[in-house]
């Protein structure tokens, strides 16, 4: 799953005072000034403000003195509560043959631009060029709303989308709307857009209708093709531009299966993944990947990550067979190599996500990189990154296609980031590891009844992880030692399990680190092709997962809840229902080591972390607007440019930042009208370089919501 729900951080004065009465704490306590609490009309909880003496070791950033902060609008400080903060569950969810000259939708996942007009020396001269609003109101959505677009510049149009899957063509210089296509998707529980794919019919005349087409899926599981120049439906594709995609079994509610990410197109074949609702039933729909002819919409082939053919070699890794199981879906973006005619799938866990007693074995094809032949859908190679996944460690990011030096020569490679913060690199033609992989023993007890874990899990040798892989007795959990004291007390009193990565799920509750939201998530990484450095944003907040025996599960409580502190899933057909909750200190902050989110530069050749910095400020989340960088888990992508800059939104503080790619220093910031949960794009138009950031937020994280695209350029 991409995530589990939003959580408000509550600075609860009465709870704090109650815990402060602990006599053991007073032996080491320093005075902390308290202020009178006030009620917030945004929550039913009484909230207080707490004046904290932040520990000296909290890292803050000194910005270059010349930096000027640009704002789109004045945003009042949200005094009185850590409002909207979903950080705790952060939970957690390219050139190609046959494509037009395009910026932004390259299918290699590298997120790198060779443009350098905007650079370290002049980035503080950026100003807002224009702002576009899609018109979709995320506040009226009954369910999840997230603007996670990856804009595309093609045929002279800047292509963007809205949470209802409307597609817009904008003037790249002014943001003026040229056309709009509305697929008329009905309201569902999942309202998001992650962009569109594109394909050029090289056999068609230059000015023919739909010679260049945009192809995208929708929340009601349809596949559309429209003309990239005019926005009109392609009449030769399916039924007047639309194909109804079948699910493997009838869905129980609208939105149980959706097309959540943009398709890929390889040599005229459109390949589409899906998001399947997690933890709703053991016999959930299959995560089938479907393929269609890009010209006609004709069905070509399908691949099921949960194998069904008894002659498939992968069946040997499913101890009881695969009848009655589903998922393994591809909810993130895929990658494609047209020269090899290969499509690369980042698959997820089989149902259910946190308990696998009903599906013994390693469960091959799930939680794997699977390379399929584009023309036929046959498996060419596969590499599993988690055996018998019971941690919801889906592969969340698009595989990155790069050249990786081996013995001084570039080898076409595939780099895969994972929620665990482990980085795997394979030969993308054969699947052979280019960074050696070793199987290491992992914790095996205590286990819930019926569960049999893999005794080992794969780790890349020598490649440092991007996040902390364990919680130890020595970790300071929270903002300071007061937080840590109470967090430890809660863990001890409740008997929660914690330890290294792959600590088993349990009935008493397991503190999972990294959490199911990462580590890295769908926004992926950027890659410097010259220096072989990747830049990766990561969430670093653990979560508490508890398996609830079926005979103790309250049917009224075990249901999916969006945007609440505790998530409950009935999991019918399984031995266990599921509870997922944040572990919070009495101060209302996560029981997690700092920072709570970070940005990392990793040299993938020398296998060395070059720098690692907190990502995000608590300025809009704290009782007073303190610009302290503790990290705020979120969602979104980033962009690396030849100007030596890493641009990223991502955070809950509604800020677009530029980091120096060499040092990790913040060199520029701009306030956004909502959280920047999409992927930024840069392009040159009429001699000027533009930077465009989708800013619509993500309701699962409790971020500020909106419908904006904000463009920047240098002052003249």
What positions carry a catalytic annotation?
Answer: 392
| CB distance 229 to 204 below 8 Å | no
CB atoms within 10 A of CB 61: 14
Helix (H, G, I), strand (E, B) or coil at 264: strand
**Separation of alpha carbons 213 and 565, rounded Å:** 43
Q: From CA 574, how far away is CA 659, in angstroms rounded?
A: 46
| CA distances for 166 relative to 159, 182, 231, 707, 710, angstroms | 10, 5, 11, 12, 18
Q: How many CB atoms lie within 10 A of CB 525?
A: 27
Structure token digits, residue 507:
């009935």
Cα–Cα nearest to 345, from 386, 305, 292, 316? 305
Angle at 593 between CA 592 and CA 596, to 5 degrees: 75
Whole-angstrom Cα distance, residue 333 to residue 349? Answer: 16
Q: Which residue has the tokens 């056309």?
A: 179
Structure tokens of 96?
């190609």
Dist. CA 21–CA 453, nearest whole Å: 43
Residue of 528, 535, 527 lying closest to 601 (CA atoms): 535
Q: Measure the CA dihedral 652/658/661/663, to 10°.
A: -80
The Cα–Cα gap between 618 and 652 comes to: 8
Provide φ and ψ at 3, rounded to 5°: 180, 175
**651, 538 contact by CB (below 8 A):** no
Give the whole-angstrom CA distance, residue 130 versus residue 173: 8
Q: How many CB atoms lie within 10 A of CB 595?
A: 22
Q: In Å, what is the CA distance from 272 to each residue of 102, 163, 430?
A: 20, 18, 23
Could you give the 3-state DSSP secondary structure of residue 655?
strand
What are the beta bridge partners of residue 343?
336, 372
333's CB contacts (< 8 A; 6+ apart) are: 109, 150, 194, 261, 262, 264, 397, 398, 522, 524
Six-digit token string for 434:
């280019």
Q: CA–CA separation, 288 vs 155, rounded Å?
A: 32
Strands annotated E in 393-542: 400-406, 409-417, 423-427, 437-441, 456-460, 510-512, 526-528, 533-539
Q: Cα dist. 641→16, 41, 155, 530, 655 in Å?
A: 46, 43, 22, 12, 19
Q: Give DSSP secondary structure letters for 513-556.
A: SSBTTBSS-TT--EEETTTTEEEEEEE---EEEEEEEGGG--TT
Element of type H or E holding 60? none
With DSSP H G I counted as helix, E B as strand and the rest as coil, what are the percentages for the chain, rounded to 5?
5, 35, 60
- Of 212, 374, 229, which Cα lies nearest the Cα of 292? 374
Provide the CA 174 distance to its chain's centre, in angstroms: 30
């Amino acid at each position: 799953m991409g995530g589990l729900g939003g959580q408000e951080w509550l600075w609860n004065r009465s709870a704090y005072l109650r815990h402060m009465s602990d006599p053991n704490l007073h032996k080491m306590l320093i005075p902390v000034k308290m202020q009178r609490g006030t009620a917030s009309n945004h929550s039913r909880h009484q909230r207080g403000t707490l004046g904290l003496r932040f520990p000296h070791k909290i890292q803050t950033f000194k910005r270059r003195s010349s930096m000027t902060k640009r704002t789109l609008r004045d945003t009042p400080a949200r005094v009185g509560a850590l409002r909207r903060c979903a950080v705790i569950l952060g939970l957690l969810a390219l050139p190609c043959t046959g494509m037009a000259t395009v910026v932004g939708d390259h299918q290699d996942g590298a997120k790198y631009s060779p443009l350098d007009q905007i650079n370290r020396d002049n980035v503080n001269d950026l100003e807002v060029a224009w702002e576009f609003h899609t018109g979709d109101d995320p506040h009226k959505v009954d369910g999840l709303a997230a603007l996670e677009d990856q804009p595309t510049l093609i045929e002279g149009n800047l292509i963007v989308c809205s949470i209802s899957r409307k597609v817009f063509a904008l003037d790249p210089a002014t943001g003026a709307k040229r056309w709009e296509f509305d697929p008329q998707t009905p309201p569902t529980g999942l309202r998001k857009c992650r962009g569109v794919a594109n394909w050029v019919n090289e056999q068609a005349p230059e000015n023919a209708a739909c010679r260049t087409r945009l192809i995208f899926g929708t929340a009601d599981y349809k596949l559309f093709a429209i003309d990239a120049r005019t926005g009109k439906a392609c009449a030769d594709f399916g039924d007047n531009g639309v194909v109804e995609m079948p699910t493997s079994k009838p869905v129980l509610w609208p939105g149980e299966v959706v097309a959540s990410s943009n398709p890929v197109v390889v040599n005229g074949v459109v390949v589409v993944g899906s998001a399947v609702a997690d933890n709703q039933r053991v016999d959930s729909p299959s995560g089938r990947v479907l393929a269609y002819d890009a010209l006609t919409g004709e069905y070509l082939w399908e691949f099921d990550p949960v194998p069904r053919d008894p002659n498939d070699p992968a069946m040997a890794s499913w101890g009881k067979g695969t009848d009655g199981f589903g998922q393994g879906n591809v909810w993130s973006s895929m990658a494609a190599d047209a020269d090899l005619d290969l499509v690369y799938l980042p698959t997820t866990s089989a149902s259910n996500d946190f308990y696998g007693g009903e599906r013994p074995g390693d469960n091959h094809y799930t939680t794997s990189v699977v390379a399929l032949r584009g023309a036929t859908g046959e498996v060419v190679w596969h590499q599993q990154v988690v055996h018998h996944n019971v941690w919801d460690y889906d592969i969340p990011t698009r595989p990155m296609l790069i050249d990786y030096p081996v013995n001084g020569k570039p080898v076409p490679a595939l780099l895969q980031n994972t929620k665990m913060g482990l980085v795997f690199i394979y030969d993308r033609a054969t699947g052979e590891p280019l960074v050696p992989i070793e199987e290491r023993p992992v914790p095996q007890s205590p286990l819930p009844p019926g569960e049999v874990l893999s005794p080992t899990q794969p780790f890349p040798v020598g490649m440092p992880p991007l996040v902390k892989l364990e919680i130890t007795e020595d970790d300071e959990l929270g903002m300071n030692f007061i937080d840590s004291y109470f967090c430890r007390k809660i863990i001890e009193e409740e008997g929660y399990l914690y330890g290294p990565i792959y600590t088993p799920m349990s009935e008493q509750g397991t503190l999972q680190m990294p959490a199911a939201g990462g580590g890295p998530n769908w926004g992926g990484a950027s890659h410097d092709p010259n220096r072989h450095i990747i830049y990766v944003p990561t969430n670093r907040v653990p979560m508490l997962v508890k398996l609830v025996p079926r005979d103790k599960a309250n049917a009224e409580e075990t249901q999916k809840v969006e945007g609440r502190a505790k998530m409950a899933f009935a999991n019918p057909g399984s031995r266990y229902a599921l509870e997922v909750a944040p572990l919070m200190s009495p101060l209302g902050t996560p029981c997690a080591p700092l920072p709570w989110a970070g940005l990392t530069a990793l040299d993938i050749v020398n296998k060395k972390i070059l720098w690692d910095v907190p990502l995000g400020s608590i300025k809009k989340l704290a009782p007073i607007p303190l610009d302290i960088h503790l990290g705020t888990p979120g969602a979104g992508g980033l962009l690396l440019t030849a100007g030596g800059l890493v641009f990223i939104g991502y955070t809950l503080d509604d800020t677009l930042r530029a980091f120096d790619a060499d040092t990790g220093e913040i060199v520029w910031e701009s306030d956004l009208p909502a959280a920047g949960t999409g992927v930024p794009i840069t392009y040159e138009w009429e001699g000027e370089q533009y930077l465009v950031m989708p800013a619509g937020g993500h309701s699962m994280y409790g971020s500020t919501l909106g419908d904006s695209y904000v463009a920047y350029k240098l002052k003249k």
